[in-house]
Amino acid sequence: MMMEVEIITRDTIKPSSPTPSHLKTYNLSYFDQLTPQIFVPILLYYNYTKSTTSTSSSTCLKESLSKCLTKFYPLAGRLKDGIFVDCNDAGVDYLEAKVKNCSLSDVVANPKIDSLKQLLPGEPQTLESESGSESPLVVVQVNQFQCGGLVIGMWILHKVADATSLSSFINGWSSTNRGDNVAVAPHFELATLFPGRKIEGYQVTEGIGEEKIATKRFVFNASAIATLRDGARHGSSVESPTRVEVVSAFMWKRFIESNRSKSHPNRKDYMAFHTVNLRKRRDPPLAEHGFGNMCIGVNALVAAENDVDDLSSLIGKIRVAIRGVDGEFVKKVESGDEEYLNHIMAEIMKACEGEGEKEQIDFSSWCRLGLYDADFGWGKPVWVSPTLNLKNFVILMDTRSGDGIEAWVNMLEEDLVRLENDPELLSFASETTI
């Protein structure tokens, strides 16, 4: 039988304490400005445990969320003119739902990607809060299964928070819910270090369109990654490739091979666009829970006239691109060097140009972000599933075991069908949750 999700209640959760007057305006940073105004979804899955029933009650979750919003106060506000958040304590939307016709174990063991979307709240742009037609920055849906299992689904506005900030918020809420005295303390310093600036003629639209995007999950276990890593090391100057480098390069290679199998009148450049977290690359590093967008995208390229590089070469290209974002890079951005900032925007605009003489695949690694640490008081999640319906976009996520990677691939359906029937890809990836 098909999973049936019924919304039981809808509510608005506001901060437990009002935001002080001197914090009412939260300015976006330069990196926030470079981020598309889209909502990012995530689902966290929890097994039923008898000993912690009280912490999973509706009242407890609402109260802890309200307390958490006092610390993460911009998330309870509303975005204004795309440049600042009015921290008016309007709150976040909170839905509760009952799930019928299946158990949590069935969902985790044999996930149907389209069905999982029922566990997320409706598209935020269509929801209304008490303040009117303005979208809340966060929307939560708590799904209770008949077996006692529970799934928390959430949307968060990317314009104000990257994946690291999303993880900080989730772990802040969960630690508050379980009564941890050492709760996550966010830092809101990015707009001071990297102030916003007037940007004309700039709009991030790459991958955002009316096309129907399909999603597929490819799971690489530790053994498969080790085999790929060993093959890449053979005769290579790339030392100790990471899990993310190996899987990114392998997926890029399969993407190139798959696209070149199509009938193109002309060969194209193939670009890999990888998101880089800058927090630890600053000297001194930013606070662990520095809130906002602190990421930049970098490009690696296989030119149209070249044959497809071997895996080690592709790993090398990705590594060179990522390591180019170092302390000196961050220092130049922080200094407000006009020429350098214009160069960054030009590179992003180049990557965001429409199809033509290039094909692009985007990667964002959510590995090691601590999402599997989000214990609300009833244990850590048995699974976490991200997705982002942008064309040719791949999110890399830890498996629950921590040594594998799930690649969540979003593409046009016809392109994804070719990829999921690629024998080379299927010899290393499976659909099994590990």
Q: What pLDDT was estimated at residue 53? A: 65
The mean pLDDT value for 114-121 works out to 92
Q: What pLDDT was estimated at residue 114? A: 86
Type of residue found at 430:
S
Sign of CA dihedral 396, 399, 400, 402: negative
369-404: b (≥16 Cβ within 10 Å) or e: bebbebbbbbebbbbbbbbbbbbbbbbbbbbbeeeb
| Residue 204: band (very low, low, confident or very high) from pLDDT cuts 50, 70, 90 | low
- Give me the domains of the chain, ranges plus CATH numbers: 4-193 (3.30.559.10), 213-426 (3.30.559.10)
| Residue 52: band (very low, low, confident or very high) from pLDDT cuts 50, 70, 90 | low
Q: Is 191 left (phi over 0), alpha (psi -120 to 50) or beta?
A: alpha
Q: What pLDDT was estimated at residue 350? A: 67
Q: What pLDDT was estimated at residue 132? A: 41
| Residue 36: band (very low, low, confident or very high) from pLDDT cuts 50, 70, 90 | confident
Q: What pLDDT was estimated at residue 239? A: 85
Among 150-154, 269-273, 357-361, 412-416, the range of highest mean pLDDT: 150-154
C-alpha closest to that of 35 among 196, 267, 268 = 196
- pLDDT tens-digit series, residues 354-392: 555 788 999 999 999 999 999 999 999 999 999 888 899
Q: Is residue 138 pLDDT above 90, yes or no?
A: yes
What's this model's pTM, rounded to 2 decimal places? 0.92
**DSSP sequence for 403-423:** SSEEEEEEEEHHHHHHHHT-H
Q: What pLDDT was estimated at residue 203? A: 64
User: Per DSSP, what are the bridge partners of residue 121?
Assistant: none
Token representation of residue 149: 């299992």
Q: What pLDDT was estimated at residue 165? A: 97
The mean pLDDT value for 237-251 works out to 92
Q: What pLDDT was estimated at residue 341? A: 82
Active site members: 158, 375
At 262, give phi and psi (nearest 5°). Answer: -75, 165
The rounded Cα 310 to chain-centroid distance in angstroms is 28
C-alpha closest to that of 68 among 179, 157, 140, 176 = 176
Q: What pLDDT was estimated at residue 434? A: 47
The mean pLDDT value for 57-78 works out to 96
The mean pLDDT value for 46-58 works out to 77
- pLDDT tens-digit series, residues 280-298: 999 888 888 899 999 988 9
Average pLDDT, the chain: 88
